[in-house]
Amino acid sequence: MKAPASPRGAQKTAGRRTNIGAVRSTFAPWNDPSAVPLVRFENVSKRFDDHVAVRDLSLDIYPGEFFALLGPSGCGKTTLMRMLAGFETPDTGRITLGGEDLAGVPPHERPVNMMFQSYALFPHLTVEQNIAFGLKQQGGLPKGEIAARVAEMLALVKLEPFARRKPDQLSGGQKQRVALARAVARKPKMLLLDEPLGALDKKLREETQFELMDLQVELGVTFLIVTHDQEEAMVMADRIAVMREGQIAQIGRPEEVYEAPASRYVAEFLGDVNLFDATVAASDHPLARLSAPEAAGGFEVMDDDCPPAGTAVTLAVRPEKMRISLDAPAADAANVMAGEIWDIGYTGDWTNYIVELPGERLIRVARANASRIVERPIGWDDKVWVTFDPDAGVVLTQ
C-alpha cells in the first residue's frame, strides 16, 4: 500500500503495545497532550420520537485528521455528522468548533461543508455554477475572484472539460467530483463526507480512496467521513470511531481497531473473526493458558491485559492469522484444532476455508494464494489442522 508523502510532523506513538506491521504514518495529535482539538463533542445526546440516536457521546477531532465514523445503519453516525453540519440540534451537550460553541448557529453560517451521499447537485445549474454557488453567498468570495476559484477547483478534481455540463450529463464518478469540488470551494475548516464511495463501482472506489487521501493532505482540511463500509474507513482514515447504538465502542488507528479490538462487537464489525468462548486456566508469564472446547490442548495467548484465572473470556483470532495444513503438527502443541473442510471460497488472491470442528462448530481460515502452483491443494472434506501463534489472538472480556 502506498504511504502518502505526508507533511505531518513525526511523533512517537505511545500507549498500548501493538505488535502489528508497519505503522502507516506518524501523525497522531490525539496522543499529544498540548494539541488542541478542532471539533469537540461534549456529552452530546439526541433522540428522535421513538429511539435514542446518540447517547452521551464525547469525541475530539484534531485539525488535519482524516477521521471516520464507522458503524451499521442506525448507530447514530449520520446524526452526529448532521449535528455538526447544523441540520440537527443536540438535545443535551455541546459541540464546539475551533473553540466556539455551535449552538444556535444555522448551517449556512458554519465553516463546515458537507458532501452529500446523493451528491445533491443542483440540476438546473451547470458544473461551474454548482461549484460557484457557495462562493456567491455570504462568506464566499468577492465577485472578481469567484471565477478564479472555480477554475482552481475544476483543476483540482480534473473536470475542466465538463465545466459547462449539467449534472444529468455526468457519470457517477464525475458527479462525485463536482460534489467534492463544490464542498471545498469555500475552503471550510472541516469537510463532512456522507458515505462518499457507496455509489461507485469497485475499481473507481479504490482509485477514489487514494485520491481523497491525497486531496485531504493537499488542502490541509480536516475530513470526517461517515460510512458503514469498514474497508473504506480503514484505507482512508487516520482514526476510526466504531459506533454502536449511539455510543462509541472504540476509537483508534485502523490497525489498533482491527488488531486490538476492545470488544466482541468491534472485533466482529471489522472484517471476519473467529470467536472462541474460553476460560482463563493459568497464567504463565509471558503466556497465559485458556481452556476451550475447540482445542484439545487449550489456547496459549499473550498475557498482557489478561484477566485472572477462572474468568470467562472470548478469544478473537482473525482468519488470516491462522495456518491451515493437511499435516498434523507436533503432538501436544497448543493452539491446535482438528477439523474437516466444510466449504471453500476462492477469490483469486485469497482462499477462505470454512473448517468444521468437532461439535459442529465452523471456523474460518484465510490463506493468501502466495504461489501459483500448489502441489497438494486442500479440497472439500479434507481433514485439516488449524494452528496459530500465541500473539495472533486477542482476549476480550466484553
Q: Which residue has the cell 465452523?
A: 362
Nearer to other proteins, 78 or 227 (CB): 78
Nearer to other proteins, 87 or 346 (CB): 87
- List the one residue from 8, 47, 165, 186 that touches other proteins (CB under 8 A): 186
Nearer to other proteins, 139 or 198 (CB): 139
**Residue 214 CA from chain centroid, whole number:** 17
Site for other proteins contains 114 (CB under 8 A): yes
State which amino acid sits at residue 218.
E
Gap between the Cα atoms of 367 and 365, Å rounded: 7
Task: Annotate each residue in 54-83 with x if it binds other proteins (CB under 8 A) or - if it does not, as one string.
Answer: ----------------------------x-
Task: Annotate each residue in 247-276 with x if it binds other proteins (CB under 8 A) or - if it does not, as one string.
Answer: ------------------------------
Nearer to other proteins, 84 or 365 (CB): 84
Please give the radius of gyration of the chain, using alpha carbons only, rounded to the nearest integer.
Answer: 24
Beta-bridged to residue 114, according to DSSP, are: 192
Cell of 208: 477514489
Site for other proteins contains 292 (CB under 8 A): no
Smallest gap from residue 87 Cβ to other proteins (A): 6
Nearer to other proteins, 149 or 364 (CB): 149
- List the one residue from 7, 15, 72, 139 that touches other proteins (CB under 8 A): 139
Gap between the Cα atoms of 365 and 360, Å rounded: 16
Smallest gap from residue 188 Cβ to other proteins (A): 9
Site for other proteins contains 137 (CB under 8 A): yes
Calculate the alpha carbon distances from 135 to 130, 145, 200 in Å: 10, 9, 28
Nearer to other proteins, 84 or 384 (CB): 84
Nearer to other proteins, 81 or 316 (CB): 81
At 293, phi and psi to the nearest 5?
-65, -30
Cell of 183: 464542498
Burial 277-308, CB ≥16 within 10 A → b, else e: ebebeeeeeeebbbebebbeebbbbbbeebee
- List the one residue from 51, 108, 164, 383 that touches other proteins (CB under 8 A): 108
What is the three-class DSSP state of 226?
strand
Site for other proteins contains 198 (CB under 8 A): no
- List the one residue from 52, 105, 120, 163 that touches other proteins (CB under 8 A): 120
Nearer to other proteins, 98 or 140 (CB): 140
Gap between the Cα atoms of 314 and 393, Å rounded: 10
Cβ proximity of 126 and 164 under 8 Å? yes
At 253, phi and psi to the nearest 5?
-65, 160
Smallest gap from residue 83 Cβ to other proteins (A): 11
Smallest gap from residue 390 Cβ to other proteins (A): 49
DSSP 320-369: GGEEEESS---TT-SSEEEEEEEEEEE-SSEEEEEEEETTTEEEEEEEE-
Site for other proteins contains 126 (CB under 8 A): no
- List the one residue from 33, 99, 104, 106 that touches other proteins (CB under 8 A): 106
Please tell me what DSSP assigns to residue 139: T
Site for other proteins contains 355 (CB under 8 A): no
- List the one residue from 29, 37, 71, 134 that touches other proteins (CB under 8 A): 134
Size of the site for other proteins (CB under 8 A): 28
Cell of 46: 439526541
Smallest gap from residue 127 Cβ to other proteins (A): 14
Question: Residue 120 — left, alpha, or beta (φ > 0 → left; ψ -120 to 50 → alpha)?
Answer: left
Give the interface with other proteins as residue ranges (CB under 8 A). 82, 85-88, 106-109, 112-114, 116, 118, 120-124, 133-134, 137-140, 182-183, 186
